[in-house]
Structure 1
Amino acid sequence: MIAEAAGELLQRALSLYQDNARATSWLERHLARFAEPLRLAVVGSSGAGKSSLLNALAGDEVAPLKLGDRQVMTWYQGGSAPRALAYPPGGAAPWELGAERTDRRLRVDLSPLSGQQVDRLVVDWPSRQLRDLVLMDTPALDPEAGPQALAGGLTDADAVLYLVRRPHGPELDALRSLHGPPSGWALPVHAMVVLSRADELGAGRVDALISARQVARRYRRTDEVQDLCQDVIAVAGLVASAGRTLSEPEFAALSALAQVPRPDLESRLLSADRFVRADAPLPLKPSAREWLLGRFGLFGLRLATTLIRRGANTVPALAGQLVQRSGLGELRDAIGLQFAAREDVLKARAALLGLEVLLRREPRHGSEQLAAELDRLVSGAHAFAELRVLAALRGGRTELPDELAEDAIRLTGGHGVGLLERLGIEEEVSPAELQEAIQDALWHWREQAVNPALSGVARRAAEVVLRSCEAMLARDPVAP
């Protein structure tokens, strides 16, 4: 297992650098991370919808937290009760801040931090969504900052959601800088691009997410995007957040709007100015309309009132429909399959990257041998090769015929990393039947790996799939 091998290298590095307090602290933190939940950083420029998406993932309104007009790195993790700690730079003891939960919203008293330097805030929050996941809310990307400044804030992240409006050109520049160099082997298997304001891609129409998903699929196949991430997912973050935290007063206000004749309401939802104008003949006060606009956006208002007219006449019914149509479910599934299910691999990747940097920047007697072993481990790590091929399969870059590509996606863990999920078996089978299914897959992909009808690119992908089958054969056939 790559995680165990990476842990052993870190332990050996600890012995090598035991007289270096900074290196020792870094190595110990990475070793501890293997026993901690996956850390997922949410990254994007100002206006990309970071806070909305983070709130949707957390299930409550927890973000953003700002010191005046400045946002600091904030970690949200599971806890039995609201709690907030502020960590100063340099590793000093944190300050505890007043924190409470009010109507599914986080309230933190940040006044004691006035004039203080803060490295990060850590918030404990009672949420089922945060039991096995730490969400890292990062400050908005500064396009003027250099690559080192951008990447420096993410050294503690295992995986990254990179939010953009459209994944091309300048919007991807920061993502390129986040990946590196330093290492040629460290391809971006830990990153996912999110079209976080997907409703804008469909001009705010009620069916905007259908268009946005088509856009995501198209971008997923472009060379520019494929070299930077595992996947591209479309989400209407504002709608997802509003759906997860919908209140009775908001539902009542939306229901009142839904009673307005459809042509009259649609004419007011053509722009924000028309909707909030004081003389608009609508049943809500301008201040209430402005609040709803901030919570749902024009697309969300069109969608919510349409759903109410179609029968979503309770808070749970409307909330469920909004979340379902926002694309949040697809994003959560992608996070589960591509990140959470492989968290040990991603943590090992982060640790080995950091170890490579340490060995290169602070060489000493014995570090060359450790660097050589690191290179051997990485070059032979099937877990990394499998993730790279899986990303290529999803993007259609392997040149495998369609009937082989779907089988390859499943066998490399695209639908789950358990034996039954990889083999596509949906019911309990005997160990003998399981072994037979693995052998069938093994022989089939052994043939594809040398199939002269396939291109060289396709045969190399088939070799990785074959190694996945061999790894399954070596596993306990009764294990999940």
Structure 2
Amino acid sequence: MTVGLRLDEAAWGLLHQAIDLYQGNPRAVGQLRNQVARLEQPLRIAVAGPWRSGKSTVLNALMGEEVAPVERADGVFTWYEDGPAPRATAYPAGQPPQELTVVKSATGLRVDLGWDTGDVRDIVVQWPTRALRQVTLIDTPALPGDVEQGRMPLVERVLRDSDAVLYLTRDGRDSDLRMLEAGRDGAVGQAAPINVIMVLSRADETGGGRIDGLLSARQLARRHYRDPRVSAVSVNVVACSGMLGLAGRMLGESDFAALATLASVPRAELDAHLISAERFLRGELPVRLETEVRGALLDRFGIFGVRLAATLVRSGFDSRVKLSAELIRRSGLTELRESVTRCFIDRRDTLKARSALAAVETLLRAEPTRGSDELVGAVEQILAGAHEFRELRLLVALRNTRLGFDVELADEAQRLIGGNGVGLAARLGVEHEATTQRLWEVAADAQWRWRDRAEDPLLPLAQRRAAQVVARSCEGMIAELVAGGR
């Protein structure tokens, strides 16, 4: 929350200043007008990562339906957006858009291009689902394994076309960090690395496929988050098994019945048949389970998921509803969706404003003209006062470490900076119908207490800096009340 002009308002004004500056450059004006239009559009979230990082599986898990990938669309950006009916449109370079055949199934849809994709850069899939009402998800081509010689065109396009990025990686190695560091060019990238969540995908493979592998993956994610090099390029790190999460969301009665049949076998006896996918598929099981059923379980759950699901059924998750909920929770999908909501969707105006600032800065530096230096200075001035960026980074820090605050203080800080919602009532923890006077009293009291904490020399520096952010958020709420913003 900014004291004074809001960040999205400042970005809107800057875009129009840039349009005036580049009136003699129709191409540049077109780019800038596109950025103005994006401020009113749903938030764009790219799902990106190297080959076999599980992008399409995570995307499907987030939507709860099997809609990705589009068949034979390697190298194409596939955009998934809300629409009244299933529809897919291909955009070949230099040719009119072409409608594609969409085949709807019980679990989602299938889109087959039916021709060579060499000239197709984008496919837009419209799919009626609540998950896409506030966001557009972008399934991107596999990113290269490393970025040694500057930013590559594919990386640049991912960053340019999206407002936020879910970057999928198996382990967050140095090559992944170099890829993300490529997005920190310029003042915007340096000042606001808040548009990336690193996802340790395929978390079920951590720990050699042991039942506690997902726990190990979450511990690895926490270690990554505490790494200064990682926190410099991403706002959060989350471990998630997209396969297990999707299997949980789409668990049907027939799958549950098959898993319950397996769970009826004593664990010591069943484990010998779950050492490998081949043994499970081809071996003689102690119970009757057709080969086609075993194959379907492997396709949907993987061998780790079959082993875990059978263990959970045996442990008391003995209905489809119970097992579905536990698989989703253990997969890390719940944590990922919450992180996307808190860091991206709730902050969509901030992230779209960030995209606008980055676009203006890139144009000003690539095509300088008379007056561009003044606009570069305006970008830097907006960044210096962008309290929204500080709020978001503090929110994630409090969720992961609490910064030494006790539980009650950490919870209050999270709420005041928008962790429970960005509206005044949600931030202040009062009823939505509360009077302006009540909001004023609560905001003033919180501002006084957190300002006092920010100035306490006996507190650790990290706590004082966090308290400064919280106090500034309270000041912003008071300024909004004074201006009659409620």
Q: TM-score, normalised by structure 1?
A: 0.91
- Equivalences for 1:329-478 in 2 at 5 Å? 329-394=334-399, 396=401, 404-425=409-430, 429-476=434-481
Give the distance between the partners of 2:404 and 2:313, measured in 1 at CA: 46
**Structure 2 residues not aligned, in runs of 5+:** 1-5
- Is residue 81 from structure 1 mapped to residue 62 from structure 2 by the alignment? no
CA RMSD of aligned residues (A): 2.6
What is aligned with 2:293? 288
Give the distance between the partners of 2:248 and 2:161, measured in 1 at CA: 30
Distance 1:317 1:445, change over 3 A: closer
CA positional deviation for 1:55: 0.5
Larger displacement relative to structure 2 (139-148 or 371-380):
139-148
Q: Counterpart of 2:422 in 1: which secondary structure?
A: coil
Q: Which has the higher contact order (CA 8 A, sep 6+)?
A: 2
Tell whether the 8 Å contact from 2:189 to 2:358 is kept in structure 1 after alignment.
Answer: no
Q: Counterpart of 1:122 in 2: which secondary structure?
A: strand
Tell whether the 8 Å contact from 1:40 to 1:135 is kept in structure 2 after alignment.
Answer: yes
CA positional deviation for 1:455: 4.5
Of the candidates 128, 131, 142, which is equivalent to residue 130 of structure 2? Answer: 128
Of the candidates 72, 79, 97, which is equivalent to residue 76 of structure 2? Answer: 72
- Equivalences for 1:262-277 in 2 at 5 Å? 262-277=267-282
What is aligned with 1:51? 56
CA positional deviation for 1:458: 4.0
What is aligned with 1:28? 33
Give the distance between the partners of 1:52 and 1:303, measured in 2 at CA: 19
Larger displacement relative to structure 2 (165-174 or 322-331):
165-174
What is aligned with 1:304? 309
CA positional deviation for 1:2: 0.9
CA positional deviation for 1:433: 2.8
Tell whether the 8 Å contact from 2:89 to 2:125 is kept in structure 1 after alignment.
Answer: yes
Tell whether the 8 Å contact from 1:43 to 1:141 is kept in structure 2 after alignment.
Answer: yes
Of the candidates 140, 143, 146, which is equivalent to residue 145 of structure 2? Answer: 143
Which amino acid is the alignment partner of residue 128 of structure 1? R
Q: Counterpart of 1:84 in 2: which secondary structure?
A: strand
Of the candidates 218, 226, 233, which is equivalent to residue 221 of structure 1? Answer: 226
Q: Counterpart of 1:67 in 2: which secondary structure?
A: coil
Give the distance between the partners of 1:404 and 1:288, measured in 2 at CA: 52
Distance 1:398 1:279, change over 3 A: closer
CA positional deviation for 1:58: 1.0
What is aligned with 1:108? 111
Give the distance between the partners of 1:343 and 1:166, measured in 2 at CA: 28
Give the distance between the partners of 1:169 and 1:114, measured in 2 at CA: 35
Deviations 1:251-309 (A, max 9, x none): 33323322333222212112223222345555334443233212101221122223333
Q: TM-score, normalised by structure 2?
A: 0.90
- Is residue 180 from structure 1 mapped to residue 182 from structure 2 by the alignment? no
Which amino acid is the alignment partner of residue 450 of structure 2? W
Tell whether the 8 Å contact from 1:226 to 1:395 is kept in structure 2 after alignment.
Answer: no
Tell whether the 8 Å contact from 2:170 to 2:202 is kept in structure 1 after alignment.
Answer: yes
Give the distance between the partners of 2:20 and 2:294, measured in 1 at CA: 63
Tell whether the 8 Å contact from 1:64 to 1:71 is kept in structure 2 after alignment.
Answer: no
What is aligned with 2:44? 39
Identity of aligned residues (%): 47
Deviations 1:99-121 (A, max 9, x none): 1311122111310x325411111
Distance 1:379 1:55, change over 3 A: same
Give the distance between the partners of 1:458 and 1:261, measured in 2 at CA: 52
Q: Counterpart of 2:209 in 1: which secondary structure?
A: coil
Deviations 1:318-354 (A, max 9, x none): 3233223322122111111111111010000011011
Q: Counterpart of 1:139 in 2: which secondary structure?
A: coil
Give the distance between the partners of 2:167 and 2:213, measured in 1 at CA: 21
Distance 1:428 1:309, change over 3 A: farther
Give the distance between the partners of 1:223 and 1:421, measured in 2 at CA: 31
CA positional deviation for 1:207: 4.2
CA positional deviation for 1:452: 1.6
Larger displacement relative to structure 2 (163-172 or 238-247):
163-172
Deviations 1:195-237 (A, max 9, x none): 2222233543444433433332232212122112111112221
What is aligned with 2:3? none
Deviations 1:178-207 (A, max 9, x none): 333464644311111112222233543444
Distance 1:184 1:122, change over 3 A: closer
CA positional deviation for 1:425: 3.9
Tell whether the 8 Å contact from 1:65 to 1:72 is kept in structure 2 after alignment.
Answer: no
Give the distance between the partners of 1:41 and 1:62, measured in 2 at CA: 15
Distance 1:184 1:40, change over 3 A: closer
Give the distance between the partners of 1:282 and 1:29, measured in 2 at CA: 60
- Is residue 118 from structure 1 mapped to residue 120 from structure 2 by the alignment? yes
CA positional deviation for 1:472: 0.9
CA positional deviation for 1:74: 0.7
